[in-house]
Structure 1
C-alpha cells in the first residue's frame, strides 16, 4: 500500500508538471488553443494569467515530489488537500471537468495515503 500511495502522489505531481507546461509554454500554440478552446487573440490576452497559474501548478508538483522524496506524509497530505481545493474551485468556477482532471486523482492519492496509515496501525 505504501508504494501505491506514493505512486499516486507522483502521478498527481506529474499531472501538475503537465499543467505547468501547458499553461506556461503551450498556451498560445495549437495545443493550448485546442485544449482550452480559445482563439489566438484570447490566448494572447490571457497568457500572463495562464503563466502565473502554471507557476502555481509547478509549486504544487515540487511540493508533492519533495514530500515523497523526504517521506513527509503530513506535508504530502497538505499538498494533496491544496490540489483538491484548487480542483474543486476550478471545477466550480472555470470548467466542471477540472474536478475529474485535477481533484479526483488527488482524492485517490489522499485516500491511499490515509489507508496506508490505517494499515500501518493494524499490522503493528
Structure 2
C-alpha cells in the first residue's frame, strides 16, 4: 500500500511541476492560452499573477517530494502537503471552475487515502 501511495504522491508532485511550467513559462504561449482558455490580452495582463501562482504550485511539489524523500519519517509532511493541495483544489473549484476539483483535489485525495491506509 505504501508503494502505491508513494507513486500517487509522486504523480501529484509531477502534476504540480507541470502546473508550475504552464503558469510561469507558458501562460501567454499557445499551449497556455488553450489550456486556460485565455485571450492573448488577458494572458499578457495577468502574466505576473500567473507566475506567482505557478511558484506556489512549485512549493507544493517541493513539499511532496520532500515528504517522499524522507520515506516513513516524512509521513506528516506528505499528509500536510496533500491536504494543502486538496484545500487549494477545493478553493479553485469554488472560485474558478469545477474542473480544478478533479484535476487537482481528487488526485491528492486519492493519494492521501492510500497513504493513510498504508
TM-score range, shorter chain: over 0.9
1:93 matched to which residue of 2?
95
CA RMSD of aligned residues (A): 0.5
1:13 matched to which residue of 2?
13
Q: Give the Cα–Cα distance (whole angstroms) in 2 for the partners of residues 94 and 46 of structure 1.
A: 15
Q: Give the Cα–Cα distance (whole angstroms) in 2 for the partners of residues 38 and 84 of structure 1.
A: 25
Unaligned runs of 5+ residues in structure 2 are none
Q: Give the Cα–Cα distance (whole angstroms) in 1 for the partners of residues 89 and 46 of structure 2.
A: 20
Q: 1:104-115 maps to which residues of 2 (within 5 A)?
A: 104-115=106-117
Determine helix, strand or coil for the equivalent of 2:97.
Answer: coil
Question: Does 2:47 correspond to 1:47?
Answer: yes
Q: Rg larger in 1 or in 2?
A: 1
Unaligned runs of 5+ residues in structure 1 are 117-124
Runs of 4+ in 1 over 3 A off after TM superposition: none
